[in-house]
Amino acid sequence: MNRWLLRLFLVAFFLAAFTYECPAPLIYKPGEGWTYEKVGSKGKWQRGRAQDQLGVAQESFDQKDYNTSLKAARRTVSQWPLSDYAPHAQYLIGRCHEAKKQDQIAFDDYQKLIEKYPKIDNYQEVLERQFIITTRFLNGQWFKLWGYIPFFPSMDKTSDMYEKIIKNGPYGDFGPKAQMNIGAAREKQSDYPKAVKAYETAADRYNDQPKVATEALYKKGLAYNKEAKTSEYDQNVAGQAIATFMDFVTLYPEDEHVTDAQKRIETLKTEQARGSFEIARFYEKKRRWDGALIYYNEVLIKDPNSKYATEARERIDTLKKRAKK
């Protein structure tokens, strides 16, 4: 048994050590990784100068031979990382992975490009490509294991990708959009507190951009509203939603969503009244009359015109009569 293990170890060692000299189709090159080459094609895509190597990568990409383009571009970056041709080679690596539907890997390739070569001429284009890729994940595209096996959608991963885009260009064309989309991602996973925080950040950071600030404040109110519907007795959330919508109506009275915000305020007040009414009923069933009176009175304060207010008045009269006996 031990001799078999020793033999397997020796075979594995020699394969790992000398594979790049072997004519087998799967080739390993130090600094470049594993690549596939047809028998007899060894070295045909390799060049001795960075410019020529990049030329192979670009020509292969133009011909949609993405595997050869990837090999040539990777070699350009690994062999001549400080050359003038390395940034475009790194860009081609991302383009190849994007063309091969490996979006997560492509995003990381573009991130490396931005971090290693921040002065590239097509910086905004790269940010746009990152934004488009991330938005595909926001819209439900699945992340892949090792770049190949569809595994699951993830709003956490999607939000992290948007965060990187914001860091790369917080005040450019895609920073505000990315910040708003973080809110949308958090809403999709029903994490309304994080959605509120994302929209609040957008409203504060981009307060000098009226279109962004207006939409962010309105969506912050909507996120609070959604959270309030999931919080049976959390009156504070409904109150925060009302306050946010009231700020929105006050700050942006001409906005097209003002009418909707006003309707939501009324609905939320009724919901607050309902919540207080339910609490009052709870105290009344427990024969805690003072507590019941407090919450029945809150119903009248929060929405005096609601159906809950009518019944609350009746219960208050009944409890006061009980107290006099």
Q: pLDDT per position in the chain (325 positions), as tens?
A: 455 455 555 545 544 544 444 444 555 555 445 555 554 445 689 999 999 999 999 999 999 999 999 999 999 999 999 999 999 999 999 999 999 999 999 999 999 999 999 999 999 999 999 999 999 999 999 998 877 788 899 999 999 999 999 999 999 999 999 999 999 999 999 999 999 999 999 999 999 999 999 999 999 999 999 998 876 556 788 899 999 999 999 999 999 999 999 999 999 998 888 888 999 999 989 989 889 899 999 999 988 888 898 999 999 988 887 766 6
CA atoms within 13 A on the CB side of 278: 9
Give the pLDDT confidence score for residue 250 in this predicted structure: 96
* Residues 6 or more apart whose Cβ sits within 8 Å of residue 277: 295, 296, 299, 308, 311, 312
Residue 159 lies in a domain: no
Give the pLDDT confidence score for residue 24 in this predicted structure: 42
Q: Cβ atoms within 10 A of the Cβ of 267, count?
A: 16
Structural domain count of the chain: 1
* Residues 6 or more apart whose Cβ sits within 8 Å of residue 248: 214, 217, 218, 221, 255, 257, 258, 261
Residue 219 lies in a domain: yes
Give the pLDDT confidence score for residue 74 in this predicted structure: 97
Give the pLDDT confidence score for residue 235 in this predicted structure: 74
Residue 178 lies in a domain: no
- Long-range contacts of the stretch 67-75 (C-beta < 8 A, 24+): 67/35, 67/36, 69/96, 70/35, 70/96, 70/97, 71/32, 71/35, 71/45, 72/45, 72/46, 72/47, 74/32, 74/33, 75/29, 75/32, 75/46
Give the pLDDT confidence score for residue 119 in this predicted structure: 94
The burial class, CB within 10 Å (0-12 / 13-18 / 19+), for 34 is exposed
Residue 202 lies in a domain: yes
> Considering the entire predicted model, what is its pTM?
0.79
Give the pLDDT confidence score for residue 78 in this predicted structure: 96
CA distance 270 to 76: 66
- Angstrom CA distances, 184 to 137, 177, 308, stand at 12, 10, 34
Q: Which CATH number does the domain housing residue 217 bear? A: 1.25.40.10
Give the pLDDT confidence score for residue 37 in this predicted structure: 53
φ, ψ at 173 (rounded to 5°): -70, -25
Residue 291 lies in a domain: yes
User: What is the extent of the structural domain holding 207?
Assistant: 190-325
The burial class, CB within 10 Å (0-12 / 13-18 / 19+), for 10 is exposed
CA distance 163 to 198: 11
DSSP state of 252: -
Residue 278 lies in a domain: yes
Residue 173 lies in a domain: no
CA distance 208 to 287: 55
CA distance 289 to 312: 13
Residue 227 lies in a domain: yes
DSSP state of 36: E
Copy the structure tokens of residue 61.
């990409």
